[in-house]
Structure 1
Amino acid sequence: MSDIPKVVVVGGGIIGTAIAYYLAARGYRPVLLERKNIAGGTSSACEGTVIMQSKAPGPKLEMALQSRALYASLSETLGYDVEYEERGGLVVIENEQQAAIMLNTIEKQRSFGLKVDLLNIKETRELEPLLSENLWGAAYSEADGQVNPILVARAYSRAAARLGAGIRVGVNVTSLLVESGQVRGVMTSEGPVYADCVVNAAGVWASALTAPHGYEPSLVPRRGQILVSEPLPPLINHIVLCACYLAAKHHPELLDRNNRHHRLGVGTVIEQTAAGQLLIGSTREFAGFNDETTLEGIKSVAEHAVKLFPRLGKVNIIRTFSGLRPKTADGMPVIGPVESLPGLIMATGHEGDGIALAPITGTLIADLVEKMI
């Protein structure tokens, strides 16, 4: 076994664990290093939506569709129920301006093979009766789904371990080991770990490892604040997000910075988990590495959710949380080798698409490792 190339994966979130699994499935014996616990960072501080409609038409939507295909059989593949369910998704449209944006987006999405229907408010409320009658309508796709991201990361890590991967938690990676311009491994809180290839899947913290060596990808942490309801009987039938989420994501020039909701980047996303709780998000704001919730942010998310679903005004919220998502300048994840640091592969910058894109990211990185070593 000594002739098997050694691969280190930095980061034990849903991206890092997916990479470890797909490498192990191809016969590698990767060592995954995580400073907290599996899914102890961003992957446990987010919703679990696997939404095709929120992906920009182009490479990201193509990746999402490939991930969807992998998610369909993931529980069976990993031998662990990850609570994946394709419930269909509604992108709720509030006014004519949003309708025009969505119509243009839908036409492009259809050209990539995504089936999307534009519904008026009567048709929309037939699918979700509790939605406000004061809305314009919605875009609907049966391809949208949801999953439990914590369970996905655990399932990937356990399956990888069964295949021979090393899963080491509570190990802080402090720096890259670089010799004669070549990445040879990482230095950790427990000493050096040498490798033929290092995969940097450290999310918003990925730049800290590469910046000392002159490579600094355009990663900026973006905070998302989320509300969690009490367990409820079935209340919503689909994953629901608002068109303003897509406007904030793909058309920031339309936002009014004097508007509190716009300034905080509030884009409502609501899903009901297998346990009956509603996850209601979220802000998309820049606050550095501050992952605390704020009264302003939570209030804004709640107000907009109630505007869409007036019934939510009577639902008890039992807790709130927030997480940091790694945003890139062009909105695309950073996936690939670093030319100036041979032996290093990046896998970060997914922002709010990390859950949806985890399976295909793991597959792509495994492809790259095979080519590199």
Structure 2
Amino acid sequence: MTTADAVVIGGGVIGTSIAYRLAEEKRKVILIEKGEIGSKTSGSCDKAIFLQSKKPGFPSELAKASRDIYENLEAELGVPFEFKRGGGMIVVQSEKYLPFIKDFVEKQKQAGIDIQLLDQKEATDRQPSLSENIIGSTYSKEDAEVNPLLLSQAFADAARRKGVEIRTHTEVVDIAIENGKVVGVQTAKEYIPTEIVVNAAGPFAPHIDDMAGVNIPIQPRRGAILISEKVTPVVKGNILCSQYIAAKHLTEEAPAFGIGLSLGQTDDGNLLIGASREFKGFNQSIESEVLPAIAKHATSIVPSLGNIRIIRSMVGFRPYTGDGLPIIDEARDAEGFIIAAGHEGDGIALAPITGLLVRDLLDRKGVYQSFLEKLKLNRFK
């Protein structure tokens, strides 16, 4: 019978990061993924590592610490994943958002983010594809980007070299608990005795938690992204819009379908144009108005997108907690059951630090211990 010191459930950027870090500590780790590595949430998102979009304070501090890890991560993992220091912009498309953005920029500066507010000319000089009708934009050189699929594979490959066994196309059907402690994981194929289970199943984490008798406040938030044909460079770095940031951080009503601009371009030249944000359960069938609405909003900010052919779209689900932070904690009533989920749109940005946070949680020591207090499950009670 195969045994493990730890079983990680979920093979996206979060689960593979955790498996890699736990194996560094000489633990025997098995990672279980229902599909392929990076095939779910990590394979249906954009590529941005945005610092400036985070809420000032602890969320910014957490994202900044994770961004710092990215600087040397390709060299550490030994596999390139298209990490680029391209910078990022939040475009202000209406005067009504300007006071909020000005205040937001000042708070981000106080939080240690290198960010500046550009007027219309400065913004279009930096990003010539922007509409002349914009009011201005922010800019931060600290924002970056990666290829999420390659990142998942890089963590997985490095984990394998550390001895991690990766079981793809394997479904977890039960978590065995005895006397309030984890004792094993039952898959559709085998039973694996273990004293540690890490739930890194993203939006599907509540299903795994139910097996352990744990309740977590994570909901799937559906998002759609348009993908263009391969074209010559249209944008530098990544672009968000103030409508998205305001809806994220203010109490104002979200726009129809939760649409806000998220724009980036892959190394191959495909544009990723997003995005919608809706609570529709796990229903992948989107309304017929959603994709045209995404396209209309995007072309109002970057008019040249109207001349580019869209070849497909993708729909994914983000694990939403309500306060913009993930849950990284051990379940109170199931010793050895670790929750590492709820990153919503910050999974790519926070993947590097999440593996280290779970390691520190299990070791009860480490550089990032101080972060864990604010990521506990009981903050929702």
**TM over 0.5, yes or no?**
yes
CA distance in 1, matches of 2:318, 2:174: 22
Q: Does 1:329 align with 2:322?
A: yes
Q: Is the 8 A contact 2:182 2:334 kept in 1?
A: yes
**Aligned-partner SS, 1:105:** helix
In structure 2, how many angstroms separate the alpha carbons of the residues matched to 1:210 and 1:279? 33
Residue 112 of structure 1: how far off its partner (Å): 1.6
Deviation per residue, 1:164-195 (Å, 9 max, x gap): 11111111011211011111121111121111
* Contact kept in structure 1, 2:91 and 2:241, CA below 8 Å: yes
2:9 corresponding residue in structure 1: 10
| Alpha-carbon shift at residue 5 of structure 1 (Å) | 7.1
- Answer yes or no: is the 8 Å Cα contact 2:46–2:272 preserved in 1: yes
Separation in 1 of the partners of 2:56 and 2:354?
18
Distance 1:112 1:14 in 2: 26
| Aligned partner of 1:254 among 248, 252, 255 | 252
Q: State whether residues 10 and 200 of structure 1, in contact with CA within 8 Å, keep that contact through their aligned partners in structure 2.
A: yes
Provide the aligned C-alpha RMSD in A. 1.6
Runs of 4+ in 1 over 3 A off after TM superposition: none
For 1:255 and 1:308, the matched residues in 2 are separated by 21
**1:174-193 correspondence to structure 2 within 5 Å:** 174-193=173-192
Contact 1:8 1:198 in 2 (8 A): yes
Residue 77 of structure 1: aligned partner: 76
Distance 2:245 2:328 in 1: 23
SS in 2 for 1:16: helix
Alignment-derived partner of residue 155 in structure 2 = 156
Q: Write the mapping of 1:8-47 to structure 2, written as runs, cut at 5 A.
A: 8-47=7-46
The answer to whether the 8 A contact 2:145-2:237 is kept is no
Partners of 2:10 and 2:161 lie apart in 1 by 19
Larger deviation: 346-355 or 69-78? 69-78
Q: CA deviation at 1:360?
A: 0.5
Letter in 1 for 2:146: V
Report what 2:371 is aligned to. Answer: none
Contact 2:11 2:38 in 1 (8 A): yes
The DSSP-based 3-state class of the residue aligned with 1:254 is: coil
Q: Which runs of 5+ in 1 are unaligned?
A: 257-261
Between the aligned partners of 1:104 and 1:23, the Cα distance in structure 2 is 41
Aligned twin of 1:279? 272
CA contact (8 A) 2:263 2:273 kept: yes
- 2:136 equivalent in structure 1: 137
Deviation of 1:293 (Å): 4.0
Matching residue's letter, 2:268: A
List alignment gaps of at least 5 residues for structure 2: 366-381
1:225-251: CA deviations, max 9, x gaps? 000111111111121110111122222
Where does residue 364 of structure 2 map in the other structure?
371
Which residues of 2 match residues 218-367 of structure 1 at below 5 A? 218-251=217-250, 253-255=251-253, 262-367=255-360
Following TM superposition, by how much is the alpha carbon of 1:344 offset from its aligned partner in structure 2, in angstroms? 0.7
Kept in 1: contact 2:8–2:199 (CA 8 A): yes
Superposed CA deviations along residues 121-170 of structure 1, whole A, max 9, x for unmatched, are: 01000001121111110011000111000000001001000011111111
Equivalence for 2:204: 205
Contact 2:4-2:30 within 8 A present in 1 as well = no
Distance across 1 between alignment mates of 2:67 and 2:87:
12
SS, match of residue 102 in structure 2 = helix
Report if the CA contact (8 A) 2:10-2:34 is conserved: yes
| Map of 2:55 onto structure 1 | 56
CA distance in 1, matches of 2:4, 2:146: 33
Instruction: State the SS of the aligned residue for 1:207.
Output: helix
Q: Distance in 1 between matches of 2:337 and 2:218?
A: 17
**Structure 1 residue 299: deviation in Å?**
1.0
- Cα displacement (A) at 1:214: 4.0
| 1:86 shift after superposition | 1.1
Partners of 2:4 and 2:192 within 8 A in 1: no
Q: What secondary structure does 1:248 align onto?
A: helix
Residue 165 to residue 111, structure 1, CA distance change in 2 (3 Å): same
What TM-score do the two structures reach when normalised by structure 1?
0.94
Please name the residue that 2:110 is paired with: 111
Amino acid at match of 2:65: Q
In structure 1, the residue corresponding to 2:289 is in which secondary structure?
helix
Identity over the aligned pairs, expressed in percent?
Answer: 41
Distance 1:331 1:75 in 2: 27
Q: In the aligned structure 1, how far is the partner of 2:201 from the partner of 2:108? A: 31
User: In structure 1, what residue type is equivalent to 2:356?
Assistant: T
Conserved in 1, the CA contact under 8 Å of 2:199 and 2:209? no
TM-score normalised by the chain length of structure 2: 0.93
